A and B are shown apart, each in its own frame.
Chain A
Amino acid sequence: MSASGIDAMSQRRRVRRSAWLWAMIAAGFYLGFIVLTLLRGTQ
């Protein structure tokens, strides 16, 4: 625990975890939508 009362490591972990989560959601949306439409287009 740091002097400021914040557990820096845990905050760092939380930042990294939520960054990955949102990156995955955004990439899933972004690529998923394109891949789905392209698959549909080739049928």
Chain B
Amino acid sequence: MAEDLTHAAPHGEHDHKPHGWRRWVYATNHKDIGTMYLIFACTMFFIGGGAAMLIRLELFSPGLQFFDPQFFNSLTTMHALIMIFGAVMPAWTGLANWMIPMQLGAPDMALPRLNNLSFWILPFAFTLLLATFFVPGGAPAGGWTMYPPLMLQTGAAFPMLIFSVHLMGASSILGAINVIVTIINMRAPGITLMRMPLFVWTWLITAYLLIAVMPVLAGAVTMLLTDHFFGTTFFTAAGGGDPVMFQHIFWFFGHPEVYILILPAFGIVSEVIPTFARKPLFGYEAMVYATASIAFLSFIVWAHHMFTVGMPLAAQLFFMLSTMLIAVPTGVKVFNWTTTMWKGSLSFEPPMLFALAFLFLFTIGGFSGLMLAIVPADYQYQDTYFVVAHFHYVLVPGAIFGIMAGVYYWLPKWSGRMYDQTLAKWHFWLSAIFVNVLFFPQHFLGLAGMPRRIPDYAVQFTDWNRVSSIGGFGFGLAQLLLPYLIWKCIRAGKPIGNRAWEGAHGLEWELPSPAPYHSWTEPPSDAVIARGAEH
């Protein structure tokens, strides 16, 4: 078992900040590992974003322009895998690494060496995944859902894909164990569960979800592997298997996975809005219970992804109604965020702008999700661009904007410097405008019947595809501002005090800026906790 750290335990060799490559390869410091996670996620975001730009380039005009259909399908498949497992999930883990110990008054994560292992698995997993572009048969092209029998036709990339999915799963599970053990055991005295910041709460629930569902994905892809290489027929009808069973197993993982991607964003928005409304979060306890309710419900809605494959009427009704039930705790959250702002002294710094855009645009994604939950309507929407529009509204202005809000909120604490807020507002407005230009027309395309995962389309879909592609290029280019802004901030940002934002509360703001390499080597005093733990 990895080394554990406690408040009073001496750090030994960790007292000194290591230099050179050893600092990163042998990293056990939560801030270093968090930084590596965030850099990795940013790199993957641009690789996955590059794939998205190529997809939009091909779809700019009807007919085949640049890529053959097989490669186009590889682009859509790899875009999804890279963005989900390579960009969003590692970004959340990076933020968790940086912030959870600082917010709990803990000196580090509970299991620092395990933390190192969790991170360093990822570069190997994604090297393997990206290498599939260069093997005979090309990269996987059957979609990120890996449905058989189509997926079983993958060439040499197939075992590489399965192994890389196993590695990603192992990394996520190890990271989740670390988060749970840290939160349960490393809280400073006085930080009770119900005094924890919402970001910590949402991550605790996310970690439980990860441990519960990543093994299911591992089991599903292992069955695919044995079907392909070892003669089993789990998903082959000719041998007594059932390809629909894969869909059930996959989505039993896949739907909670959606909440794994979004719950930490709920936590960040719950930190940012009170800060810039200069009011405590409205309904803290309700937020905790709503998050837990969403997590529970995520386990009993999976078949809404597969209404059209056929299931008994009772099952359709059950999954439709259980899906709609998720709107209740989600509505509680939206209500509480809105009420937090009510009569607040609002200001609109970049983190707040991203949080507000999250609030509006994620809600649009939520509403189109409700439409998709209605069984007879879903029969029309299934496999159209309406679905693409829906989940991108949830994941881009949802998860990605949540990450942006978190980065802009805590960057001054990490770097000790304030970034160029004008440039950050440019980043926000360009992102917020282009993300709607990119994804809103896809609702129209879907309702008009354009299928997803195709490189060519009927000419009547041309106009909205062009608008969507222009939005895609604009959104993609706007993201280049982020790394430039971070570089500029680290190099020449104006030094700031402990509390970067006037209305910020929480233990992290009681630490100096930049946060020292080893923070909270002694637990915070009661007075510091009282000052910092206001929600």
Tell whether B153 is near chain A: CB-to-CB under 8 Å: no
Are B177 and A38 in contact (CB-based, < 8 A)? Answer: no
> Which single residue of chain A is at the shortest CB-CB distance from B180?
A22
Chain B residues within an 8 Å CB radius of A25: 211
Q: Mark A20-40, 1 if CB is under 8 A from B, else 0.
A: 101101100110111011100
Contact A41 B8 (CB under 8 A): no
Contact present for A22 and B177 (CB under 8 Å): yes
Stretch at the interface among B184-192, B429-437, B460-468: B184-192
Q: Check B110 against A6 for contact (C-beta < 8 Å).
A: no
Task: Check B222 against A26 for contact (C-beta < 8 Å).
Answer: no
Complex: how many Å from CA A20 to CA B111?
11
Q: Which residues 449-501 in B have Cβ within 8 Å of A in the complex?
A: none
> Which residues of B sit under 8 angstroms from A3, Cβ to Cβ?
8
B7 within 8 A of A: yes
Q: Is B226 an interface residue (CB 8 A)?
A: yes
B216 at the interface (CB under 8 A from A): yes
CA distance A8 to B186 in the complex (A): 11
A23 to B170, CA, bound (A): 11
Task: Give the contacting residue for A2; candidates B8, B173, B234; CB below 8 A.
Answer: B8
Complex formed: what's the CA distance from A16 to B2 in Å?
9
Q: Give the most central of A22, A36, A38, A42: most B CB within 10 Å.
A: A22
Complex CA–CA separation, A43 to B219 (angstroms): 17
Q: How large is the interface on A (under 10, 10 to 19, 20 to 34, 35 or more residues)?
A: 20 to 34
- Inter-chain contact A19/B110, CB cutoff 8 Å: yes
> How many residues of chain B have a CB within 8 Å of chain A?
37
Q: Which of B8, B176, B181, B184 contacts A8 (CB 8 A)?
A: B8
Q: How far, in angstroms, from A16 to B6 measured CA to CA in the complex?
A: 11
A residues near B181, Cβ cutoff 8 Å: 15, 18-19, 22
Known: A2-B8, A19-B1, A37-B234. A11 touches B215 (CB 8 A): no
CA distance A25 to B180 in the complex (A): 12
Interface SS of chain A: helix, strand, loop or mixed? helix
Task: Give the distance to chain B from A20, nearest Cβ to Cβ, in Å.
Answer: 6
Report the bound CA distance from A4 to B4 in whole Å: 18
Chain B residue numbers with a CB within 8 Å of A18 are 180-181, 184-185
B369 at the interface (CB under 8 A from A): no
Alpha-carbon separation in the docked complex, A9 to B212 (Å): 30
- Give the nearest-CB partner of A22 in chain B: B177
Identify whether the interface residues of B are mostly helix, strand, loop, or mixed. Answer: helix
Least Cβ–Cβ distance between B163 and chain A, in angstroms: 14
* Contact, CB under 8 Å: B219 / A12: no
Q: Check A30 against B1 for contact (C-beta < 8 Å).
A: no
Contact A12 B189 (CB under 8 A): no
Q: Is B311 an interface residue, CB under 8 A from the partner? A: no
Q: Is B285 an interface residue (CB 8 A)?
A: no
A32 vs chain B, min Cβ distance (A): 8
Q: How far is the CA of A11 from the CA of B107 in the complex (A)?
A: 13
Q: Which residues of A contact B212 (CB under 8 A)?
A: 29
Contact A19 B219 (CB under 8 A): no
A15-B6 contact in complex given A5-B189, A22-B180, A37-B234, C-beta closer than 8 Å: yes
Closest Cβ–Cβ distance, residue A30 to chain B (whole Å): 4
CA of A30 to CA of B173, assembled, Å: 9
Contact, CB under 8 Å: B211 / A26: yes
Given the interface contacts A34-B218, A41-B234, does A11 sit within 8 Å of B211 by beta carbon? no
Residues of A within 8 A of B176 (CB): 26
- A34 vs B234: C-alpha distance in the bound complex, in angstroms? 12
CB <8 Å contact, A12 and B215: no
Q: In angstroms, how far is the closest chain B Cβ from the Cβ of A29?
A: 4
Q: Which of B4, B169, B222, B234 contacts A19 (CB 8 A)?
A: B4
* One of A12, A34, A37 near B4 (C-beta < 8 A): A12
Are B185 and A6 in contact, CB atoms less than 8 angstroms apart? no
Query: Given A4-B8, A26-B173, A26-B177, A33–B216 Cβ distance below 8 Å?
Result: yes
Partner of B222, one of A16, A34, A42: A34
Residue of A nearest to B234 (CB): A41
> Is the pair A30, B215 in contact by a Cβ cutoff of 8 Å?
yes
B residues near A (Cβ < 8 Å) are 1-2, 4-9, 110-111, 114, 169-170, 173, 176-177, 180-181, 184-186, 189, 211-212, 214-216, 218-219, 222-223, 226, 232-234, 522-523
For this complex, 20 residue pairs linking A to B, each with C-beta atoms less than 8 Å apart, are A2-B8, A4-B7, A4-B522, A5-B523, A6-B8, A11-B6, A11-B7, A12-B6, A14-B185, A15-B181, A19-B111, A26-B177, A34-B218, A34-B219, A37-B222, A38-B222, A38-B226, A41-B226, A41-B232, A41-B234
- Given A6-B7, A12-B6, A26-B177; 17 other pairs, CB 8 A cutoff: A4-B522, A4-B523, A5-B523, A6-B8, A11-B8, A12-B4, A12-B9, A14-B185, A15-B186, A16-B1, A18-B180, A23-B1, A26-B211, A29-B215, A30-B173, A30-B214, A37-B219
Q: Which 9 A-B pairs have the closest CB atoms?
A: A2-B8, A33-B219, A8-B8, A29-B215, A30-B215, A15-B4, A41-B232, A11-B6, A22-B177
